[in-house]
């Protein structure tokens, strides 16, 4: 009898606890539903994960089997002429093609997975590129706060990279993480479903296209700038040098994949590290002349927001991370890889920026190699031009893939006819559009030849959005039920700070460009 009474009391207490829990969860869900966040129950989350996973397997796994079977048969394409080479981070589940694009080149899904070291090398390529040349200019206008921002941006970009990858996963019935999304676009579309299932993907696509094309433009700008300052005695202007550089880049229009270019990626990065060492070695030789008193604790209110964009743009790698993590042998090592790559980038960028600024102080130029003596400058700049030209094909090819998939090959929903023939060959007008894109980057570089201002504008416009705003917003939206209070605090803080920095940097970059044209200011 006592046992029966205890059993009934236990059941009543348990039912009461569940009732209170469900009511509390319903209230919280109702509040955040008004804000657009999904405070879903575990059963709802599990159902979503299973449906999304099965749907993805049906739409993509079956398609991959067909394509792989055709490739083994020697075709390399299906009956409608679909080609390999689609950018993995752009796949939204309806695309006709199914290969992946990495920061180091084009990789098919049936190829061996990469190690965490190889993944780290790709991330290092993305965040230790040409654009560190503009960091001393950021210290010129930001002083010690600029150094702090180099550290702060590394921490935030590392964190947002991790939470972006977390949005690719949902818990399965055993409480294990299951990868149910495959790209930045998939995450964006999931956040906008069910009302606007494709809106998020379009926004991310536009942001990625802008960033990739602006990166191409910056490579042309810096090539013309470096050549002009390497040979000041030549009667050739910076714009003319940019034309020469673009002529060397026209073969990029014929690229089908980046296998050939990826072979130069390692040498390209090694050359960049050698250049950094040469610049730092020269600065160390003048250590007795370092102007520590020039490093300010106050900031130039008008110029510093541009520096924020420069610093943020130098850390952008988020658009490649979903593809990178999906092709790692051990995805569990992704967080560790992000930690050591961003710590290394933070240390190297901070040292490079500070040492270079201490050497030239108020005479620091937008591209720091322009401050070197003419004898050293010519050699270093030639290596940098080679690096810039070899780096151009990756963002160009990625931009082409995004445009082709969105406008010409979007699973029957494209706005324009397919730019590939049934035999898999690129049509003449398709090749003409690629050439036109190369020429467009040249025209932008000729008419807006301001490296730091363009870098700050791009960092403020798309860099902050892709690195700060969207990852934190998506994380809150998709992972709300799993977040602790400090995760919510971090995400909201990053979104607010990133939004303020993006708006202020964009406004001041535009003002800087207007001022440069009004007073005919040259780099």
Provide the pLDDT for residue 383.
81
* Average pLDDT rounded to a whole number, residues 456-473: 82
Provide the pLDDT for residue 305.
77
Instruction: State pTM to two decimals.
Output: 0.68
- Which of these ranges, 58-62, 301-305, 455-459, 490-494, has the smallest mean pLDDT? 58-62
Provide the pLDDT for residue 94.
38
pLDDT above 90 as % of the chain: 13
Higher pLDDT, 17 or 237: 237
In this structure, what token pair is assigned to residue 52? Answer: 């999304």
Judge contact between 442 and 220, C-beta under 8 A: yes
Residue 161 has pLDDT above 90, yes or no: yes
Provide the pLDDT for residue 60.
44
Total Cβ atoms within 10 A of residue 39: 17
* Average pLDDT rounded to a whole number, residues 58-83: 42
* Average pLDDT rounded to a whole number, residues 409-429: 68
Confidence of residue 521 (pLDDT cuts 50, 70, 90): low
Judge contact between 482 and 279, C-beta under 8 A: no
Q: Would you call the peptide bond into 434 cis, given omega within 30 degrees of 0 as the criterion?
A: no
String of DSSP letters for 323-371: HHHHTBS-GGGHHHHHHHHHHHHHHHHHHHHHHHHHHHGGG--SSGGGG
- DSSP β-ladder status, 177-179 and 100-102: unpaired
Distance CA 339, CA 345 (A): 10
Q: Which of 226, 203, 181 is closest to 89 using CA atoms?
A: 181
Provide the pLDDT for residue 70.
46
Provide the pLDDT for residue 452.
65
Provide the pLDDT for residue 155.
94
Provide the pLDDT for residue 412.
56
In this structure, what token pair is assigned to residue 194? Answer: 């069910």
Which of 93-97, 342-346, 411-415: highest mean pLDDT? 342-346
Provide the pLDDT for residue 472.
94
Hey, is 101 helix, strand or coil? Answer: strand
Q: Which of 165, 226, 217, 207 is closest to 374 using CA atoms?
A: 226
Higher pLDDT, 255 or 491: 491
Provide the pLDDT for residue 106.
39
Provide the pLDDT for residue 346.
92
Provide the pLDDT for residue 27.
43
In this structure, what token pair is assigned to residue 480? Answer: 């709300």
Distance CA 1, CA 7 (A): 10
- Which of these ranges, 260-264, 386-390, 440-444, has the smallest mean pLDDT? 260-264
Dihedral of CA atoms 472, 474, 475, 481 in degrees, nearest 10, equals 140
Confidence of residue 12 (pLDDT cuts 50, 70, 90): low
Confidence of residue 13 (pLDDT cuts 50, 70, 90): low
Report CA-CA distances (Å) from 2 to 8, 9, 13.
10, 11, 16
Task: Give the model confidence (pLDDT) of 362-405 as tens digits.
Answer: 888 877 888 888 888 888 888 888 888 878 887 887 788 778 77
Residue 15 has pLDDT above 80, yes or no: no
Q: Which DSSP state fits 115?
A: P
Total Cβ atoms within 10 A of residue 370: 20
The domain at 131-519 falls in which architecture? Up-down Bundle (1.20)
Give me the residue label for tokens 């324009």: 416
Provide the pLDDT for residue 495.
93
Provide the pLDDT for residue 160.
94
Q: What is the mean pLDDT of the chain?
A: 74
Domain boundaries, the chain: 131-519
Higher pLDDT, 80 or 478: 478
Angle between helices 451-458 and 485-518 (to 10 degrees): 150
Residues 6+ away with beta carbon under 8 Å from 143: 295, 296, 297, 298, 299
The alpha carbon of 484 is separated from its chain's Cα centroid by a whole number of angstroms, namely 27
Higher pLDDT, 1 or 231: 231
Dihedral of CA atoms 493, 494, 496, 502 in degrees, nearest 10, equals 160
Task: Give the model confidence (pLDDT) of 319-343 as tens digits.
Answer: 878 888 888 888 899 999 999 999 9
Residue 358 has pLDDT above 80, yes or no: yes
Task: Give the model confidence (pLDDT) of 242-258 as tens digits.
Answer: 899 888 888 888 877 65
Confidence of residue 302 (pLDDT cuts 50, 70, 90): confident
Hey, is 38 helix, strand or coil? Answer: coil
Hey, is 169 helix, strand or coil? Answer: strand
Residues 6+ away with beta carbon under 8 Å from 415: 407, 408
């Amino acid at each position: 009898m006592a046992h029966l009474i205890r059993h009934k009391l236990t059941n009543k207490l348990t039912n009461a606890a569940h009732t209170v829990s469900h009511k509390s969860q319903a209230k919280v869900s109702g509040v955040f539903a008004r804000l657009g966040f999904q405070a879903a129950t575990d059963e709802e989350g599990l159902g979503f994960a299973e449906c999304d996973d099965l749907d993805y397997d049906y739409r993509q796994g079956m398609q991959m089997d067909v394509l792989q079977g055709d490739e083994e048969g020697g075709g390399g394409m299906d009956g409608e002429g679909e080609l390999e080479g689609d950018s993995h981070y752009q796949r939204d589940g309806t695309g006709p093609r199914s290969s992946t694009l990495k920061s180091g080149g084009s990789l098919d899904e049936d190829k061996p997975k990469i190690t965490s070291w190889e993944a780290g090398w790709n991330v290092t390529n993305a965040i230790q590129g040409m654009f560190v040349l503009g960091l001393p200019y950021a210290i010129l206008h930001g002083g010690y706060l600029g150094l702090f921002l180099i550290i702060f941006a590394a921490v935030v970009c590392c964190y947002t990279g991790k939470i972006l990858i977390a949005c690719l996963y949902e818990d399965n019935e055993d409480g294990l993480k299951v990868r149910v999304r495959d790209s930045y676009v998939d995450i964006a579309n999931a956040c906008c479903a069910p009302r606007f299932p494709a809106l998020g993907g379009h926004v991310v696509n536009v942001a990625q296209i802008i960033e990739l094309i602006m990166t191409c433009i910056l490579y042309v700008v810096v090539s013309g700038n470096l050549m002009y300052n390497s040979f000041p005695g030549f009667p050739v202007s910076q714009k003319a040098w940019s034309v020469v550089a673009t002529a060397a880049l026209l073969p990029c229009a014929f690229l089908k994949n980046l296998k050939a270019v990826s072979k130069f990626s390692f040498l390209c990065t090694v050359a960049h590290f050698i250049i950094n060492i040469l610049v730092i070695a020269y600065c160390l030789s003048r250590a007795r002349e370092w102007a520590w008193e020039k490093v300010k604790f106050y900031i130039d209110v008008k110029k510093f927001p541009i520096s924020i964009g420069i610093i943020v743009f130098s850390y952008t790698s988020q658009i490649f991370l979903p593809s990178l993590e999906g092709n790692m042998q051990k995805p569990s090592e992704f967080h560790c890889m992000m930690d050591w790559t961003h710590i290394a980038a933070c240390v190297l960028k901070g040292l490079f920026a500070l040492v270079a600024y201490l050497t030239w102080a108020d005479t620091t130029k937008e591209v720091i190699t322009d401050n070197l003596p003419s004898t050293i400058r010519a050699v270093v700049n030639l290596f940098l031009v080679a690096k810039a030209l070899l780096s151009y094909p990756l963002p160009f090819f990625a931009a082409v893939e995004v445009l082709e998939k969105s406008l010409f090959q979007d699973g029957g929903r494209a706005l324009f006819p397919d730019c590939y023939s049934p035999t898999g060959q690129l049509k003449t007008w398709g090749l003409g559009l690629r050439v036109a894109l190369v020429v467009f980057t040249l025209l932008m570089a000729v008419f807006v030849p301001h490296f730091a201002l363009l870098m700050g504008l791009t960092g403020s416009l798309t860099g902050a959005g892709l690195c700060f705003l969207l990852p934190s917003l998506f994380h809150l939206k998709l992972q709300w039920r799993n977040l602790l209070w400090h995760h919510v605090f971090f995400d909201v803080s990053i979104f607010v700070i990133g939004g303020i920095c993006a708006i202020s940097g964009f406004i001041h970059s535009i003002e800087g460009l207007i001022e440069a044209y009004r007073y005919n200011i040259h780099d």
